[in-house]
Structure 1
Amino acid sequence: MTALKKFSRLEAPGIWRPTREAQRQDVIVSFGEASLVIADRNEKALSHWSLAAVVRINRGERPALYTPSADATETLEIDDETMIEAIETIRGAILRARPHRGRLRLVLFTTAVGMLLAAAAFWLPGMLVRHTLGVVPDPTRAEIGTKLFQAIGRVTGSPCRSRRGDQALARLQARLLPPGRGALLVVPDGLSGTISLPGGVMLLGRQLVEGPEVPEVTAGHILAEAERQARSDPLQAVLQGAGPLATLRLLTTGHIKDETLQAYAETLTAQEPAPVPDAALLERFAAAGISSTPYAYALDITGESTFGLIEADPMRSTGARRPVLDDSDWVALQGICGH
């Protein structure tokens, strides 16, 4: 938590190369809670990297050289000391496999001892989960999200990437979601809807970008998942699925067993997204300046079960709607997984 506050709103210059054959470009790198946003000098988003998947190619050397995933050709060169420290600090918190032995573990252990004594006699499992959600810090959430993301990857495959598609996805995230809050990724297989992971990562099945004729439909799925994130902590679903023993282990060690997360991942991708109240979803459509009607008909071609989203479309009687993406970005996003 302290590291995240220290590096919030951090920006630094960098040198970005979209492919090995492409020319290097001077860019501005912005640091978020679980992501890096790469933009040109005019603040136009060029790419969006999830810190959960970032790999450093030249450990111990300067300038630092990063890539968005182990099999990616895109690279980012950074020489700014503070930005390198920020990336390495948060990546270390996310990827470290063994529990910390410092102050965080001491605080978690002390809290856990008192909690365990009370839980043995009085607390119900639901109260145990709520208490855990209140004491687990953001880096631990991100670490759990990363391990769960890796387990889900056995079903979905690695996230889809392309230079133009990444740029379009970054612009879509900037258009719909608050800045610096997690990452938006498209996966090629095994997922038909959306999933939110602890730490802020949101996964979309490729059908949600390839199938719709207009970007308003894809935007609707993202806005609906954002509302689910706001209503239900993704870590809560993990703990409820894993059971009380896994919750107790998280409190005492700061970690959940990989086997537990792998078992949960197998059911997570098969779950139907929870319904979202029309009123709350319409507020998000209105705030984004997007029509809810295309999304409503995509859910139900007859419109019978989604009549509320159609009848109360916030853009029905206003000219304030804004394009979700321009045509070239929409085409690029639809092709992010290739053909």
Structure 2
Amino acid sequence: MTALTQFERLEAQGSWRETPEARLREVIVSVGEATLTLSDPKSERPLSHWSLPAVTRLNPGKLPAIYSPRADGPDETLEVDDPLMIEAIDRVQRAVLARQAHPGRLRGGLTLLTALAMAAAAVVWLPDALTRHAANIAPPAQAFAVGNAILADISRSTGAVCERHSGQAVLDWIAPKLIAEDAKIRVVPSPVNGARRLPGNLYVLGNDVLLTAPGPAAAAGHLMAAEMAVSDKELLLNALEYAGTRAVLQLLTLGTLPEKAMHGYGETLLQQPAPPPDRDSLLKAFREKGIPSAPYAHSLDPTGASVLDLIKEDPYRDSPPPKALLTDPQWLALQQICAG
């Protein structure tokens, strides 16, 4: 006990009562490193040892000071009127109280540090976790709504979605055969660098591909490439990361994004190059769907220099496909989707 350094070997007379019913007995009280020793004054034989931290004063502020080795139902008591001894024991009490306060302060500090660490982790980890969770559990209708919001933003740059009924009917007919049962294709007046896939299996195609190609194979190739290049979940995750945590929370709780959550995202998307699909997988898809790959290749590079593999390995290079992708009236209606 550092509090008692100056009181080492301190001794004083006191009166000790072994039990509440026993008579007071003179003892020598000596202070050790961590104990209070009560000894017989004649034989110097120790009669009792008290733990200094546990010593309790029963009558604060009064003399003689009365102490007990424990506060709850004291059996032994000690009366001391020596001021120096009283000061020594009282100093121990203060030291003990100070010691007891430190763990609490330490626990409080540790608790605060833990809370701050958790808060910092939440700031870093929670937004990403929420966004990924929202992207993973979003039903198809919700993903399609996000895709439509992006398409609306794209149309601010490209012009409104072309809605001529006869042309859209062709797209609705070909989409399940070309891409997937729930796929939706929309055409915009301006180029979008081929075709772009949006969340909810929604595809946007630039009208330039329809007007400059000799047939529908080039547009079909762009749509298949967009479908194979990136997954719907990845597209939705990217869109929600752009929307931000607050928008994601609204999507999780209310089922809809804020009205302007995708504002600017469509334009940003168009400024980025379309992700390329795996060439071997794409050629396989051309073969399985009965579509030549050369028209798609020439729409990417009219010289053919950078797409020779798609031209040389065209599954229908030497013979026409078994069946035309669209009839002539269907192709004409599709080319006129943005007219009027």
Which TM-score applies when normalising by structure 1?
A: 0.57
Check the 8 A contact 1:191/1:270 in 2, yes or no: no
Check the 8 A contact 1:175/1:324 in 2, yes or no: no
1:184/1:278 Cα in 2 relative to 1: closer, same or farther (>3 Å)? same
Q: Residues of 2 paired with 1:121 and 1:150: CA distance? A: 31
Q: Residues of 1 paired with 2:188 and 2:265: CA distance? A: 18
Q: Residues of 1 paired with 2:278 and 2:296: CA distance? A: 14
Let me know the Cα RMSD of the aligned residues: 3.0
Give the aligned length: 223
**Secondary structure, in 3 states, of the residue corresponding to 1:262?**
coil
Q: Residues of 1 paired with 2:270 and 2:137: CA distance? A: 27
Of 167, 170, 182, the match for 2:169: 167
Aligned to 1:205: 206
Which amino acid is the alignment partner of residue 161 of structure 2? P
Aligned to 1:195: 196
1:252/1:207 Cα in 2 relative to 1: closer, same or farther (>3 Å)? same
Which amino acid is the alignment partner of residue 161 of structure 1? E
1:272 aligns with 2:273: yes
Which amino acid is the alignment partner of residue 168 of structure 1? V
Aligned to 1:81: none
Q: Residues of 2 paired with 1:119 and 1:254: CA distance? A: 26
**Secondary structure, in 3 states, of the residue corresponding to 1:178?**
coil
Superimposed CA distance per residue, residues 95-120 of structure 1 (whole angstroms, 9 cap, x where no aligned partner) = xxxxxxxxxxxxxxxxxxxxx98961
Deviation at 1:186, TM superposition (A): 0.9
Q: Residues of 2 paired with 1:333 and 1:316: CA distance? A: 25
Q: Residues of 2 paired with 1:231 and 1:312: CA distance? A: 28
1:249/1:161 Cα in 2 relative to 1: closer, same or farther (>3 Å)? closer
1:121/1:154 Cα in 2 relative to 1: closer, same or farther (>3 Å)? closer
Q: Counterparts of 1:128-143 in structure 2 under 5 Å?
A: 129-143=131-145
Where does structure 2 lack aligned partners over 5 or more consecutive residues?
Answer: 1-117
**Secondary structure, in 3 states, of the residue corresponding to 1:258?**
coil
Q: Residues of 2 paired with 1:311 and 1:305: CA distance? A: 12
Deviation at 1:251, TM superposition (A): 3.8
**Secondary structure, in 3 states, of the residue corresponding to 1:306?**
helix
Where does structure 1 lack aligned partners over 5 or more consecutive residues?
Answer: 1-115
1:135/1:313 Cα in 2 relative to 1: closer, same or farther (>3 Å)? same
Deviation at 1:319, TM superposition (A): 6.0
Check the 8 A contact 2:199/2:233 in 1, yes or no: no
1:171/1:272 Cα in 2 relative to 1: closer, same or farther (>3 Å)? same
Check the 8 A contact 2:135/2:240 in 1, yes or no: no
Identical pairs, percent: 34
Q: Residues of 2 paired with 1:338 and 1:191: CA distance? A: 18
Check the 8 A contact 2:176/2:183 in 1, yes or no: no
Which TM-score applies when normalising by structure 2?
A: 0.57
Q: Residues of 1 paired with 2:144 and 2:271: CA distance? A: 22
**Secondary structure, in 3 states, of the residue corresponding to 2:205?**
strand
Q: Residues of 2 paired with 1:320 and 1:224: CA distance? A: 19
Comparing 117-126 with 189-198, greater Cα deviation is found at 117-126
Higher relative CO (Cα under 8 Å, sequence separation at least 6) belongs to 1
Check the 8 A contact 2:153/2:263 in 1, yes or no: yes
**Secondary structure, in 3 states, of the residue corresponding to 2:185?**
strand
1:330/1:132 Cα in 2 relative to 1: closer, same or farther (>3 Å)? same
Q: Residues of 1 paired with 2:121 and 2:258: CA distance? A: 21
Deviation at 1:292, TM superposition (A): 0.5
Deviation at 1:269, TM superposition (A): 3.1
Q: Residues of 2 paired with 1:268 and 1:183: CA distance? A: 19
Q: Counterparts of 1:240-251 in structure 2 under 5 Å?
A: 240-244=241-245, 246-251=247-252
Q: Counterparts of 1:1-339 in structure 2 under 5 Å?
A: 120=122, 123=125, 129-179=131-181, 181-189=182-190, 191-230=192-231, 233-244=234-245, 246-316=247-317, 321-338=322-339
Deviation at 1:122, TM superposition (A): 7.6
Q: Residues of 2 paired with 1:140 and 1:317: CA distance? A: 45
**Secondary structure, in 3 states, of the residue corresponding to 1:269?**
helix
Q: Which has the larger radius of gyration?
A: 2
Deviation at 1:331, TM superposition (A): 1.7
Q: Residues of 1 paired with 2:134 and 2:301: CA distance? A: 39
Q: Residues of 2 paired with 1:260 and 1:231: CA distance? A: 19
Check the 8 A contact 2:217/2:293 in 1, yes or no: yes
Q: Residues of 2 paired with 1:314 and 1:229: CA distance? A: 24
